[in-house]
Amino acid sequence: MNSVVSVSDFYFKYLRSELVLKNINLEIEKGSFTVIIGPSGAGKTTLCKAMTGIVPYYSGGDYAGDVKVLGETTKGKKVSDLAMKVGLMLEDYESQLVSLTAGEEVAFSLLNHGFPPEEAEERTRLALEDVGLPGRESYQLDELSGGQRQRLALASLLAVHPEIIVLDEPVSAMDPDGGESLYKLLDKIHKEHGTTFIVVEHRVEFVLPYLTNLVAIKNGEVAVQGKCEEVVSRIYEDAELRPLLPELWQVKCSLEKKTGRTFKLWRSADEAAKELQSEGFGKGVRA
């Protein structure tokens, strides 16, 4: 596997707390759309922070093992340098917005890293177009809706052209339209720029059409990781992890067990219905 992030024998605990991550061995495939699932408190957010060098180097704590990003260890690196390669959007993306206008927000990292103003302007313009906010450089933050502000945070990440983008529960408070449209945007960026995406998600139904790899975290350890087709059944077998799978895949696994047949890894209810009908199930109602 061509890995963009490699975590080896990684252990971590914050000061004055229990071990949050234990014996993590994880490879994130280049160009993948990897989704991390796991019960609340399993350590998913901490894992995101480990992949971006925040943990342990910025936030402190005790650790063992190593995290490599694009072949280089995160040890001894400034988080701002790593951020040029691995973008991070936290669940509280609102608090990540530091400026008063959209243009300043997107250009912030660029100017801090010494990009000339003209280049910063050009990258800002392209990034805003990419996320569906063209020409909004002069908009004040309070002129943008919540969803638009999230896209703005995404544009700020894109402007530095990172190879990897990590998102921690991006749609937790969104309604279905909002959730679908964000993931459509992420997929577009994934396809157009080849960026590797690592997303922590509870609401996996939104990411169902797009994900390529799954990582399941339980009690601070990696329970399962790999390409979706290869790991779905194993995740299903684990009673604790089963409810975290997209419901469509829970149906698939359950049907496979009940009928002894194997089905494709459906990406939509439509696809599932079509295959089931063509296999002769149901009361023969044609689409």
Among 1, 134, 254, 264, binds other proteins (CB under 8 A): 254
Using CB under 8 A, which of 21, 54, 128, 131 touches other proteins?
54
79, 126, 189, 231: residue in contact with other proteins (rule CB under 8 A)? 79
Alpha-carbon distance 121 to 66, whole Å? Answer: 37
Residue 1 Cβ, how far from other proteins at the closest point, in Å?
27
Give the C-alpha separation, 106 to 103, whole Å.
5
From candidates 98, 138, 188, 230, binder to other proteins by CB under 8 A: 98
Concatenating the DSSP letter of every residue in 260-276 gives -------SSHHHHHHHH
d(CA 116, CA 108): 12
Minimum Å gap between C-beta 198 and other proteins is 16
* Binding residue (CB under 8 A) for other proteins from 2, 18, 76, 284: 284
Contact status: 262 vs other proteins (CB under 8 A): no
Q: Are 190 and 33 in contact (CB under 8 A)?
A: yes
Strands 196-200, 164-168: pairing is parallel
Q: What are phi and psi of 263, to 5 degrees?
A: -120, 165
Question: Under the criterion CB under 8 A, does residue 1 sit at the interface with other proteins?
Answer: no
Residues 89, 106: Cα–Cα separation, whole Å: 14
Residue whose token pair is 């194997």:
262
Minimum gap (Å) between residue 207 Cβ and other proteins:
14
Sequence-distant (6+) residues with CB within 8 A of 52 are: 69, 74, 79, 82, 83, 86, 88, 166
Work out whether 18 is an interface residue with other proteins (CB under 8 A): no
Taking CB under 8 A as the criterion, the residue among 19, 70, 126, 248 binding other proteins is 248
Least separation in angstroms between residue 105's CB and other proteins is 10
Q: Closest separation between CB of residue 16 and other proteins, Å?
A: 13
Q: Are strands 33-37 and 196-200 parallel, antiparallel or unpaired?
A: parallel
| Residues 110-149 close enough to bind other proteins by CB under 8 A | 111-114, 117, 141-142
Asked if the bond preceding 56 is cis, omega within 30° of 0, the reply is yes
Neighbours of 261 (CB within 10 A): 11
The answer to whether 265 contacts other proteins (rule: CB under 8 A) is: no
Residue 80 binds other proteins, judged by CB under 8 A:
yes
Query: Measured from the CB of residue 108, what is the shortest distance to other proteins in angstroms?
Result: 5
Which residues make up the interface to other proteins (CB under 8 A)? Answer: 39-41, 52, 54, 58, 79-80, 83, 88, 90, 92, 94-100, 104, 108-109, 111-114, 117, 141-142, 156, 169, 172-178, 202, 205, 240, 243-244, 247-248, 250-251, 254-255, 258-259, 269-270, 272-273, 276-277, 280-285, 287
